[in-house]
Amino acid sequence: MTTSVLVPSSLVREAEDRREATRKLGYVARAAVVFRADRLTVFPDPAGAGKWEDGFVETVLRYAATPPYLRKEVWGKRDELEYVGVLPPLRVRSQTGSGSEGSGSLRQGIVTEVGADGRVRVNCGLQHPISLPVPSAMEVPGEGERVTVRVSSRRPVRAKLVDEPLTGYLVDTADVDTALERSDAGFAIAASRHGEELGVDRLGQLVERRTDAGHMTVAFGAPERGLPAIFGLDPDDAVPDGTGDDDAGFDLWLNTVPNQGSEVVRTEEAMFATLASLTLTE
């Protein structure tokens, strides 16, 4: 099952400074990791743009998703990353295989050199970059490309390239229509206080529906600019329910904090509340 999360480029529009904006994005990244999101897509919201550079949200989220041992080599120094020291650690759980051929932990690596002998030199956070043969079933990765390495021993170093997904989440940009047309979009939900209120009985139905769909996509709005405003919908006319022309392409509009005590639920708070409910098992 693939879980995709959509957030707008206006996500940090209310932040007073770059430090606060970076901290907010750190909690968005934490929510994505805690609930095992596979993809975090930033969709454009030019009408809600704040004072931050184009690409600021995507850049910080990409940086947060990069393992600490690769950040310096991948990112160097950039203005957008001035305050990344305030990002909370993600501590993505390492995936562990079983059996003599598959034992060891999976790590991200970055190719630093491509040889002519079917080998590549990879920095994967060990003491030094390591030279590894490229399996015959894999295409030879290019310099700067990220790869997955299974490390079975550090002393002595024993590792191999494997054709397996990278740990953590991937970050990309796409408009909402494109994101919802993906083959793994699955059950598409718009999180909004104007949506159907989530209750105990309804939750079981939604979890079953998500399981049947095989994949799930959940979209969130921005501060003082929820999804209806972003999509040009009037929530006072009718609550979009996924059955009409005003649903913006979603199967369901859902309010996962129906009894909120604050006038505003922040995007990162909505992510924790929504994903905690929708990733429950039957």
61, pLDDT greater than 90: yes
Q: What is the pLDDT of residue 1?
A: 84
Element (H, E) at 173: strand 170-173
HEC per residue, 235-255: CCCCCCCCCCCCCCCCCEEEE
Nearest CA to 253 out of 234, 228, 272, 280 is that of 228
Query: Which range (35-49, 95-109, 217-231) has the least confidence?
Result: 95-109
Full DSSP string of 68-118:
HHHHHHHH---GGGTTGGGSPP--PPPPB--STTT-SEEEEEEEEEE-TTS
What's the pLDDT score for residue 96?
A: 46
Q: Which letter, b or e, does each residue of 221-251 get, where b requires 16 or more Cβ atoms within 10 Å of its Cβ?
A: bbbebbbbbbbebebeeebbebeeebbbbbb
Residue 190 has pLDDT above 90, yes or no: yes
Share of the chain above pLDDT 90, in %: 66
Whether the predicted pLDDT of 100 surpasses 70: no
Q: Which residues pair with 254 in a beta bridge?
A: 196
Q: What is the mean pLDDT of residues 235-253?
A: 70
Closest Cα to residue 68, out of 110, 12, 112? 110
Q: Which of 1-10, 91-100, 204-213, 219-228 has the lowest mean pLDDT?
A: 91-100
Q: What Å distances lie between residue 109 and 58, 66, 208, CA to CA?
A: 21, 10, 37
Q: How many whole angstroms separate alpha carbon 281 and alpha carbon 270?
A: 20
Helix (H, G, I), strand (E, B) or coil at 46: helix
| pTM > 0.95 | no
Distance between CA atoms of residues 279 and 282, nearest Å: 10
DSSP designation for 222: B
